[in-house]
Protein backbone atom coordinates (compact mmCIF):
# COMPACT_ATOMS: atom_id res chain seq x y z
CA UNK A 1 0.00 0.00 0.00
CA UNK A 2 2.89 2.36 0.85
CA UNK A 3 4.44 1.60 -2.53
CA UNK A 4 1.22 2.59 -4.34
CA UNK A 5 1.10 5.84 -2.36
CA UNK A 6 4.69 6.69 -3.34
CA UNK A 7 3.94 5.94 -6.98
CA UNK A 8 0.79 8.07 -6.86
CA UNK A 9 2.75 10.90 -5.21
CA UNK A 10 5.52 10.78 -7.81
CA UNK A 11 2.99 10.65 -10.64
CA UNK A 12 1.11 13.60 -9.14
CA UNK A 13 4.31 15.64 -8.89
CA UNK A 14 5.14 14.81 -12.50
CA UNK A 15 1.69 15.92 -13.65
CA UNK A 16 1.64 19.07 -11.50
CA UNK A 17 5.23 20.26 -12.00
CA UNK A 18 7.05 18.54 -14.86
CA UNK A 19 4.38 18.63 -17.57
CA UNK A 20 3.56 22.35 -17.15
CA UNK A 21 7.29 23.16 -17.03
CA UNK A 22 7.94 21.28 -20.26
CA UNK A 23 4.94 22.94 -21.90
CA UNK A 24 6.11 26.39 -20.80
CA UNK A 25 9.62 25.72 -22.11
CA UNK A 26 8.34 24.80 -25.58
CA UNK A 27 5.96 27.75 -25.57
CA UNK A 28 8.86 30.14 -24.92
CA UNK A 29 10.97 28.45 -27.60
CA UNK A 30 8.16 28.85 -30.16
CA UNK A 31 7.72 32.48 -29.19
CA UNK A 32 11.45 33.09 -29.63
CA UNK A 33 11.46 31.44 -33.06
CA UNK A 34 8.49 33.57 -34.13
CA UNK A 35 10.15 36.78 -32.90
CA UNK A 36 13.39 35.89 -34.70
CA UNK A 37 11.53 35.20 -37.95
CA UNK A 38 9.56 38.45 -37.68
CA UNK A 39 12.83 40.34 -37.17
CA UNK A 40 14.05 38.93 -40.50
CA UNK A 41 10.92 40.26 -42.22
CA UNK A 42 11.46 43.98 -41.73
CA UNK A 43 11.06 45.95 -44.99
CA UNK A 44 14.29 46.07 -46.98
CA UNK A 45 13.24 48.44 -49.72
CA UNK A 46 10.47 49.24 -52.15
CA UNK A 47 9.71 47.26 -55.32
CA UNK A 48 9.99 49.31 -58.51
CA UNK A 49 6.78 50.84 -59.91
CA UNK A 50 7.67 49.38 -63.31
CA UNK A 51 6.97 45.97 -61.78
CA UNK A 52 4.09 46.75 -59.41
CA UNK A 53 1.93 48.36 -62.10
CA UNK A 54 1.48 44.87 -63.60
CA UNK A 55 -0.10 43.50 -60.41
CA UNK A 56 -3.78 42.69 -60.40
CA UNK A 57 -6.10 42.02 -57.49
CA UNK A 58 -5.82 42.78 -53.81
CA UNK A 59 -3.46 40.46 -51.99
CA UNK A 60 -1.77 40.95 -48.63
CA UNK A 61 1.46 39.30 -49.76
CA UNK A 62 3.08 38.48 -53.09
CA UNK A 63 5.92 36.23 -54.10
CA UNK A 64 7.56 37.75 -57.13
CA UNK A 65 10.48 36.37 -59.05
CA UNK A 66 12.09 34.98 -62.11
CA UNK A 67 10.76 31.65 -63.27
CA UNK A 68 12.73 28.66 -62.20
CA UNK A 69 13.54 25.59 -64.25
CA UNK A 70 12.68 23.42 -61.23
CA UNK A 71 8.99 23.04 -62.02
CA UNK A 72 8.44 20.57 -59.19
CA UNK A 73 9.58 23.19 -56.71
CA UNK A 74 7.28 25.88 -58.10
CA UNK A 75 4.39 23.44 -58.36
CA UNK A 76 4.79 22.40 -54.72
CA UNK A 77 5.16 25.96 -53.49
CA UNK A 78 2.08 27.20 -55.34
CA UNK A 79 -0.02 24.23 -54.24
CA UNK A 80 1.02 24.68 -50.63
CA UNK A 81 -0.12 28.31 -50.46
CA UNK A 82 -2.78 28.63 -53.18
CA UNK A 83 -5.59 28.98 -50.64
CA UNK A 84 -3.88 31.83 -48.78
CA UNK A 85 -4.01 35.59 -49.37
CA UNK A 86 -0.87 35.33 -51.46
CA UNK A 87 -0.20 35.96 -55.14
CA UNK A 88 2.62 34.49 -57.19
CA UNK A 89 4.07 36.81 -59.82
CA UNK A 90 6.34 35.04 -62.28
CA UNK A 91 8.49 37.24 -64.49
CA UNK A 92 10.56 36.38 -67.50
CA UNK A 93 10.25 34.04 -70.41
CA UNK A 94 7.51 31.98 -68.79
CA UNK A 95 9.06 28.54 -68.60
CA UNK A 96 6.08 28.20 -66.33
CA UNK A 97 3.53 27.94 -69.15
CA UNK A 98 5.70 25.63 -71.20
CA UNK A 99 6.17 23.07 -68.44
CA UNK A 100 2.86 22.95 -66.58
CA UNK A 101 -0.35 21.36 -67.72
CA UNK A 102 -2.94 23.86 -68.92
CA UNK A 103 -5.48 22.47 -66.44
CA UNK A 104 -3.11 23.14 -63.51
CA UNK A 105 -2.55 26.74 -64.58
CA UNK A 106 -6.30 27.24 -65.02
CA UNK A 107 -6.94 25.80 -61.55
CA UNK A 108 -4.41 28.18 -60.00
CA UNK A 109 -5.72 31.17 -61.94
CA UNK A 110 -9.31 30.71 -60.76
CA UNK A 111 -8.29 32.57 -57.63
CA UNK A 112 -6.13 35.06 -59.55
CA UNK A 113 -3.15 33.77 -57.64
CA UNK A 114 -0.76 33.59 -60.56
CA UNK A 115 0.40 36.43 -62.76
CA UNK A 116 2.68 35.61 -65.64
CA UNK A 117 4.54 38.35 -67.42
CA UNK A 118 6.14 37.43 -70.71
CA UNK A 119 8.27 40.56 -70.83
CA UNK A 120 11.67 39.15 -69.91
CA UNK A 121 13.32 42.54 -69.49
CA UNK A 122 11.08 44.61 -67.24
CA UNK A 123 12.87 47.62 -65.84
CA UNK A 124 14.01 46.84 -62.31
CA UNK A 125 14.50 43.08 -62.62
CA UNK A 126 17.70 42.99 -64.67
CA UNK A 127 19.77 42.04 -61.63
CA UNK A 128 17.46 39.23 -60.53
CA UNK A 129 18.78 35.72 -61.01
CA UNK A 130 16.68 32.76 -62.18
CA UNK A 131 14.90 31.19 -59.22
CA UNK A 132 15.31 34.35 -57.15
CA UNK A 133 12.07 35.34 -55.46
CA UNK A 134 11.08 38.27 -53.27
CA UNK A 135 8.39 38.30 -50.61
CA UNK A 136 6.57 41.63 -50.67
CA UNK A 137 3.74 43.08 -48.64
CA UNK A 138 0.64 45.05 -49.63
CA UNK A 139 2.63 48.31 -49.79
CA UNK A 140 5.12 46.66 -52.21
CA UNK A 141 7.90 46.63 -49.64
CA UNK A 142 10.45 43.82 -50.02
CA UNK A 143 10.38 41.74 -46.83
CA UNK A 144 12.99 39.20 -47.91
CA UNK A 145 14.73 37.69 -50.93
CA UNK A 146 15.19 33.95 -51.47
CA UNK A 147 17.26 31.88 -53.87
CA UNK A 148 15.14 28.81 -54.50
CA UNK A 149 18.17 26.84 -55.68
CA UNK A 150 19.36 26.91 -52.07
CA UNK A 151 17.60 24.42 -49.77
CA UNK A 152 18.06 26.57 -46.65
CA UNK A 153 16.58 29.61 -48.43
CA UNK A 154 13.61 27.53 -49.66
CA UNK A 155 12.88 26.30 -46.15
CA UNK A 156 13.20 29.84 -44.79
CA UNK A 157 10.79 31.12 -47.45
CA UNK A 158 8.17 28.52 -46.56
CA UNK A 159 8.59 29.31 -42.85
CA UNK A 160 8.23 33.05 -43.46
CA UNK A 161 5.15 32.68 -45.65
CA UNK A 162 3.51 30.29 -43.20
CA UNK A 163 4.25 32.68 -40.34
CA UNK A 164 2.74 35.65 -42.18
CA UNK A 165 -0.38 33.98 -43.49
CA UNK A 166 -1.23 32.53 -40.06
CA UNK A 167 -1.05 36.00 -38.46
CA UNK A 168 -4.42 37.00 -39.97
Residues 93-128: pLDDT tens digits?
Answer: 555 555 666 666 666 665 555 655 544 445 555 566
Structural domains of the chain, count = 2
Other C-beta atoms within 10 Å of 25: how many? 10
Q: How confident is the model at residue 8 (pLDDT cuts 50, 70, 90)?
A: confident
* Residues 65 and 143 occupy one common structural domain: yes
* Residues 24 and 86 occupy one common structural domain: no
Q: CA 38, 61, 102, 154: dihedral to nearest 10 degrees?
A: -20
* Residues 4 and 74 occupy one common structural domain: no
* Residues 60 and 90 occupy one common structural domain: yes
* Residues 23 and 63 occupy one common structural domain: no
* Residues 154 and 74 occupy one common structural domain: yes
pLDDT of residue 125: 55
Range of the domain at 25: 1-40
Q: How far is CA 151 from CA 109, 148, 155, in A?
A: 27, 7, 6
Q: 89 φ, ψ to 5°? A: -115, 115
β partners of residue 146: 133
Q: How far is CA 69 from CA 5, 52, 151, in A?
A: 66, 24, 15
Helix 151-165 / helix 71-81 crossing angle, nearest 10 deg: 10
SS3 content of the chain, % helix, strand, coil (to 5): 50, 15, 35
Closest CA to 96 of 122, 118, 126: 118
Q: pTM of the full predicted structure?
A: 0.69
Asked if residues 79 and 111 have their Cβ atoms less than 8 Å apart, the reply is no
CATH code where residue 135 lies: 3.40.30
- Which has more confidence, 101 or 38? 38
Closest CA to 37 of 129, 152, 164: 164
* Residues 98 and 149 occupy one common structural domain: yes
| Through-space distance between the first and last CA atoms of the chain, rounded to whole angstroms | 55
* Residues 138 and 64 occupy one common structural domain: yes
* Residues 10 and 73 occupy one common structural domain: no
* Residues 29 and 61 occupy one common structural domain: no
* Residues 56 and 18 occupy one common structural domain: no
* Residues 72 and 18 occupy one common structural domain: no
Amino acid sequence: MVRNNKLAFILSLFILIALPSISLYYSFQGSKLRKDAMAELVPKGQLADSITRHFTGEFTYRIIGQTCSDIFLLDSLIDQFIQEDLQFVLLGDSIFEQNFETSRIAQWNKKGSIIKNRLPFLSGVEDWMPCQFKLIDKQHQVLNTYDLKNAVARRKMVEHIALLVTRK
